Amino acid sequence: MSAKIIDGKEIAAAVKAKAAAGAERCRAAGRAPCLAVIIVGEDPASKVYVRNKKRACEACGITSLEYALPADTAQAALLALIEELNADDDVDGILCQLPLPGQIAEDAVTGAILPEKDVDGFHLVNVGKMLSGKDCFLPCTPAGVIEMLKYEKIPIAGKHAVVVGRSNIVGKPAAALLLKENATVTVCHSRTANLAEITRQADILVAAVGRPGFITADMLSPGCAVIDVGINRLSDGSLAGDVDFAAAKEIAGFITPVPGGVGPMTIAMLMKNTVKSCKLRLGIE
């Protein structure tokens, strides 16, 4: 029997509905939540993401500010803009779209955003709080993975979760959040020996390596839950995940598609974080 397809659009809609209700409470308390998005340069994928974020803000009743800077923007100019937004009491969240041009250090930018406005969850203060199990802004994609598992009532506690990929944006935080949910977590990467032996032990497999079709059906245990974070553009222009979806869905119990799986969750969790920031700043529940 084929796996149940986890509908990221459906789950994202539920998260955004809650965010919209929270935004309404913020408006009743004085003002709408506000998200400032900065994009530097003309990266086509980044422009699509920014456009989707703007639409999501409109749907959730969140004020959206967009700052489109030329590709040759100096790091000092970008940091000056962030400083302005940090000081603006009407701005609840600041997001600088990655990747950035070569003359700008990503660490300097993510570190310049106030932790209490870091709705991407990339500031080292928020990373440290996440690893310590403290309340903070969680990185949107890994938090979306957990949200999907919970929505589908897939057990996490006591299960073996295998994360393939160790990036700071997805792999490492996904492992931390699964650990917080009492999973036993194994993190695999490009130098892992006997990768398939390990992935076949997974009750939950999170694929985040950025290589299309990297996880094949013979690497899965029957009935496992497969969360495919990969979004890879193929030569024909189509999108593919890190998992061989057609074959894997015949083995897995649950699986996310690409597109329409984890992707919509990332923006939905950003809306959730922005509303959370506004509520904290307004002092409301």
Nearest CA to 49 out of 269, 266, 273, 272 is that of 266
Q: Work out whether the CA dihedral 162, 243, 194, 218 comes out positive or negative.
A: positive
- CA–CA separation, 34 vs 278, rounded Å? 8
Check if 120 is active-site: yes
Backbone angles phi, psi at 186, to 5 degrees: -120, 130
> How far, in Å, CA of 11 to CA of 151, rounded?
7
Mark whether 236 is an active-site residue.
Answer: no
The catalytic position among 16, 53, 159, 249 is 53
Cα dihedral 152, 155, 156, 160 in deg (nearest 10):
-120
Q: Which of 97, 118, 203, 249 is catalytic?
A: 97
Query: What CA–CA distance (Å, rounded) separates 14 from 241?
Result: 23
Residue in 92, 117, 118, 120 annotated catalytic: 120
103 is a catalytic site residue: no
Positions annotated as catalytic residues are 53, 97, 120
